[in-house]
Amino acid sequence: MRARWWIVAVAALAVATTGFTLLVRSSGHRVTDPSVPHAVPSAAPGTPSVPVGAAERVVQILQEMHTASFNAQAPPEKGSAGSSGGLYINWNPSWNGDPSTAGYNTDYNSNGETDVELGRPARHDEFTDLVYLRNLLGYRAAHPTDHSFDADIARMEPIVKADFQAYTYYKCSLYWELQDMARFDPSGAWRTMAAAYARVLYSDHYDSSLGTVVANAGGMYRVDYAAACAAALTDAGQRARDRAMLNAGLSTAHHVMANAIDPTTHLLPLQMAASTSGQDATVDRQVKVGEEAQTLDALLTMYDLTHDASFLAEVQAAVSWMYSSPLHDQGSGGFYFGVDSDGTNLQSSYKESRQAWMLALLSHLNTIQPGRWTAQLDEALMVVKDKLWQSTVGGYVYRVTPHFELYETHAGPGHNLITENWVTSEAMDIACQTMEGVSG
């Protein structure tokens, strides 16, 4: 999200063998796809290095998504003028990719049954489309002579443009993904889309009487969304030399800092209700690690844009607390699911793959303060590259046990035991994006 960590950087990788075979699972259903590269090519000159293992993992992710993630029948996203098409929410790791059997092998629910089995309408998450395309463009930008994923880019680009051409919700990670895409693909009109979205954001969601971005007239706001919007408005205002938009971004950022940060942990809760009385009310105190990492990364972007040291200080304090608290698993590594913003109510029964956003945050911090966060960055890379990756299914799942094994519940029909082994588009996207952006 910030001004530097998004630069794609897949390391130059010397491959001794002549072939790179697509991961074959224990089921034996997956085979090598001849359209996928047989080796990870060298990165474009001038891009910072990413550890070799992360470069390999990025290619594995893109290969698997090339094979199994695309759903030609995904319904158009609400508000979209586009045609059908997009990514599955998730898929069975042993599925052979045959569209005729997709209904019973994709889009699983928490009870282990698919949407088709439950008689539910098909689902479509437009943000998985967006991040997938961003990752494809980033890989191509780093490897301009490698055209292995050009067909994937070609089929995803019109879908993403249709998904977001009239997007008005205040989930402002959109702005930063579009800015990444504009750098990777300057001819794609992504920067124009980002600027247009920022104008809509300012007109529809910034409440000058409250001094912050809100979801609606009632004053409710997601803290992670508000922080991302603050950075987006500040950046867009600077680019367009629009003082009103710039001031809205600055006001929103300082509003979040003044109202949402816990004085002890320096964490920010999930949801607040803005008030003209001078103190917002906390609506949901839950802190999920992935969302918290994105919130803090947005505040770090505010430091990049303004050089206001208070943003950096708060992020440092929050990250330091996270690593010194029970939220951080010092034995197995990584973070448990979450806590409340005051540090109570630790939820340690599982870990989410979305904690991969910590890798992006730490890379950002380590760029600003070289060497200060190297140990944490190294651990986060190991967690994302090796521990969250499930070798038995060849991908990333939604959540895992505290020891990074496949998670089991009794949520199946009749309380039957089910294993959550389905590979998830969102988790694959996040791991790919964060590993592409590692610098340290």
- Among residues 340, 338, 433, 432, which one has the least CA distance to residue 64? 432
- Among residues 22, 151, 57, which one has the least CA distance to residue 436? 57
**CA–CA separation, 129 vs 154, rounded Å?**
12
Residue 113 is assigned to a structural domain of this protein: yes
Same domain, 2 and 121: yes
Same domain, 389 and 330: no
Instruction: Name the band, by pLDDT with cuts 50, 70 and 90, for residue 22.
Output: very low
pLDDT value at residue 79: 55
pTM to 2 decimals? 0.89
pLDDT value at residue 218: 75
DSSP state of 113: -
**CA–CA separation, 351 vs 388, rounded Å?**
9
Residue 174 is assigned to a structural domain of this protein: no
What whole-number percentage of the chain has pLDDT above 70? 86
Q: Which of 348, 372, 393 is the last residue of a domain?
A: 348
Whichever domain contains 195, its CATH number is: 1.50.10.10
Instruction: Name the band, by pLDDT with cuts 50, 70 and 90, for residue 278.
Output: confident
Same domain, 157 and 203: no
Residue 24 has pLDDT above 90, yes or no: no
Q: How does pLDDT run across 299-355, given as a tens digit for each residue?
A: 999 999 999 999 999 999 999 999 999 999 999 999 999 999 999 999 999 999 999
pLDDT value at residue 225: 98
Same domain, 399 and 434: yes
Same domain, 278 and 412: no
- DSSP, collapsed to helix, strand or coil, labels residue 94 as coil
**CA–CA separation, 296 vs 321, rounded Å?**
13
Total domains in the chain come to 2
Same domain, 197 and 340: yes
Residue 219 is assigned to a structural domain of this protein: yes
* Burial (CB count <10 Å: 0-12, 13-18, 19+), residue 373: buried
**Helix-helix angle 223-240:289-306, to 10 degrees:** 20
Output the furthest CA–CA distance in the chain (Å, rounded): 67
Same domain, 341 and 237: yes
Same domain, 85 and 212: no
Average pLDDT of 9-38? 33
* CA dihedral sign of residues 270, 303, 248, 175: negative
Residue 426 is assigned to a structural domain of this protein: yes
Same domain, 385 and 341: no
Q: Which of 348, 383, 418 is the last residue of a domain?
A: 348
pLDDT value at residue 12: 34
Instruction: Name the band, by pLDDT with cuts 50, 70 and 90, for residue 27.
Output: very low
- Among residues 228, 207, 224, which one has the least CA distance to residue 274? 207
Domain that holds residue 16: 1-167+359-440
Same domain, 421 and 323: no
DSSP string, 27-76: TS-----TTS-SS-PPPPTTPPP--HHHHHHHHHHHHHHHHHTEETTPPP
pLDDT value at residue 50: 66
Q: Which of 324, 348, 372 is the last residue of a domain?
A: 348
Average pLDDT of 39-50? 57
Kindly provide the residue ranges of all beta strands, DSSP E only, lying in 204-360, ordered along the sequence. Answer: 206-207, 212-213, 220-222, 271-273, 281-284, 286-288, 338-340, 351-352
Assess contact for 172 and 232: CB atoms under 8 A: yes
Same domain, 310 and 363: no
pLDDT value at residue 33: 38
Residue 32 has pLDDT above 50, yes or no: no
Residue 335 is assigned to a structural domain of this protein: yes
* CA dihedral sign of residues 160, 166, 169, 174: positive
For residue 285, count other CB atoms closer than 10 A to its CB. Answer: 16
Same domain, 163 and 35: yes
pLDDT value at residue 256: 98
Q: How does pLDDT run across 155-208, given as a tens digit for each residue?
A: 999 999 999 989 999 999 999 999 999 999 999 899 999 999 999 999 999 999
